[in-house]
């Protein structure tokens, strides 16, 4: 992997991590185009590590909100009168909602980095989950804001986040769609999706760091990819929050479906290999 590869992958990661189009799916496609072995442990680890750049963007963008949640959560542990605040409850929601993907991610690591790293999975998931996104926008009442979030919401959305371990589903697509189906409004579902991404992607990046170090991919390329992902992701986060305030996530469905169909045609005709 050279520096141009790392810049391209950083841009792809930053653009797609928080949009409901699947960053893993797009990174897999980009790696294939760049001639990188998409089922190689080092390449798989690299994509997880540069995600930390996108997470850094969320930490910076939501610095005040995150600080309020941390302070509210920790204060509420010792002061019962603070336990009803949204900040205290949000802290517990993020913790509880992050447990499922931590457990499933560890148990299914070999499957995630092996058989699922196939363009067949990417194509199928891009198309299949698009239907869920359309249904979520159609049937979700979207009449519950952040103050009406419950632990049940957090756990269900946390479980949905596990589905995004399948490349092509999209972590944000899975969590936001599930939030809408639980009648959360679009902005609330999107903000919770951002907060849930912090422990999930940070843990994945730190866990895979050792595999990148032993893969032959240089520290320079890893740093460049991570920094580029941070810059691009920051802009993507700001744009997405404004976009979902007035547009449906189903707006991304035509792109997802077209990309999925194109991939299926290329795979079926042998124009590209699945791995």
85: left (phi over 0), alpha (psi -120 to 50) or beta: beta
The pLDDT of residue 116 is 83
Residue 274 covered by a domain: no
Closest CA to 22 of 113, 127, 179: 127
Please give the structure tokens belonging to residue 176. 């936001």
The pLDDT of residue 152 is 97
Please give the structure tokens belonging to residue 111. 């499957």
Closest CA to 51 of 274, 182, 227, 177: 227
Please give the structure tokens belonging to residue 62. 């939501």
Distance CA 70, CA 120 (A): 41
Closest CA to 13 of 160, 171, 147, 161: 171
Residue 273 covered by a domain: no
**How far is residue 52 from each of residues 49, 57, 121, 254, measured CA to CA in Å?**
6, 9, 24, 29
Please give the structure tokens belonging to residue 177. 């769609």
How many CA atoms are closer than 13 Å to the CA of 238, on its beta-carbon side? 8
**How far is residue 237 from each of residues 19, 49, 66, 173, measured CA to CA in Å?**
8, 19, 15, 14
The pLDDT of residue 106 is 85
Residue 191 covered by a domain: yes
Longest pairwise C-alpha distance within the chain: 64
Distance CA 22, CA 122 (A): 9
The pLDDT of residue 69 is 96
User: Which of 71-107 are b and which e, b meaning 16 or more Cβ less than 10 Å from the residue's Cβ?
Assistant: ebbebbeeeeebeebbbbbbbbbbebbbebbbebbee
Supply φ then ψ for residue 94, to 5 degrees.
Answer: -65, -40
Residue 275 covered by a domain: no
The pLDDT of residue 218 is 83
Contact 30, 12 (CB under 8 A): yes
Domain holding 221, by residue range, is: 3-268
- Number of folded domains in the chain? 1
Residue 247 covered by a domain: yes
Distance CA 196, CA 154 (A): 9
- Cα Rg, the chain, nearest whole Å: 18
How do the pLDDT tens digits run along the chain, 275 residues long? 899 999 999 999 999 999 999 998 999 999 999 999 887 888 888 988 999 999 999 999 999 999 999 999 999 999 998 889 999 999 999 999 999 999 998 888 878 777 887 899 999 999 999 999 999 999 999 999 999 999 999 999 999 999 999 999 999 999 999 999 999 999 999 999 999 999 988 988 888 887 787 777 888 999 999 999 999 999 999 999 999 989 999 999 999 999 999 999 999 999 988 87
**How far is residue 84 from each of residues 10, 63, 88, 92, measured CA to CA in Å?**
40, 22, 7, 11
């Amino acid at each position: 992997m050279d520096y141009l590869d790392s810049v391209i992958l950083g841009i792809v990661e930053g653009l797609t991590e928080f949009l409901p189009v699947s960053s893993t799916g797009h990174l897999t496609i980009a790696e294939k185009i760049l001639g990188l072995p998409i089922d190689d442990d080092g390449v798989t680890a690299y994509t997880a590590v540069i995600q930390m750049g996108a997470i850094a963007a969320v930490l910076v963008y939501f610095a005040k909100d995150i600080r309020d949640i941390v302070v509210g959560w920790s204060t509420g542990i010792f002061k019962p009168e603070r336990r009803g605040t949204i900040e205290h409850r949000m802290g517990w929601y993020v913790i509880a909602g992050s447990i499922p993907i931590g457990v499933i991610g560890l148990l299914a690591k070999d499957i995630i980095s092996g058989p699922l790293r196939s363009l067949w999975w990417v194509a199928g998931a891009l198309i299949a989950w698009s239907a869920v996104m359309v249904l979520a926008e159609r049937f979700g009442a979207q009449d519950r804001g952040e103050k009406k979030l419950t632990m049940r919401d957090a756990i269900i959305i946390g479980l949905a986040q596990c589905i995004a371990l399948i490349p092509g589903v999209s972590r944000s697509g899975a969590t936001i769609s599930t939030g809408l189906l639980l009648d959360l409004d679009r902005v609330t579902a999107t903000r919770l999706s951002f907060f849930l991404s912090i422990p999930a992607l940070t843990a994945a990046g730190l866990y895979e760091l050792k595999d990148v170090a032993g893969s032959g991919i240089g520290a320079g390329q890893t740093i460049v990819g991570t920094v580029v992902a941070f810059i691009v992701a920051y802009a993507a986060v700001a744009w997405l929050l404004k976009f979902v305030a007035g547009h449906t996530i189903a707006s991304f469905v035509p792109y997802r479906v077209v990309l999925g169909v194109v991939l299926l045609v290329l795979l079926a005709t042998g124009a590209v290999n699945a791995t």
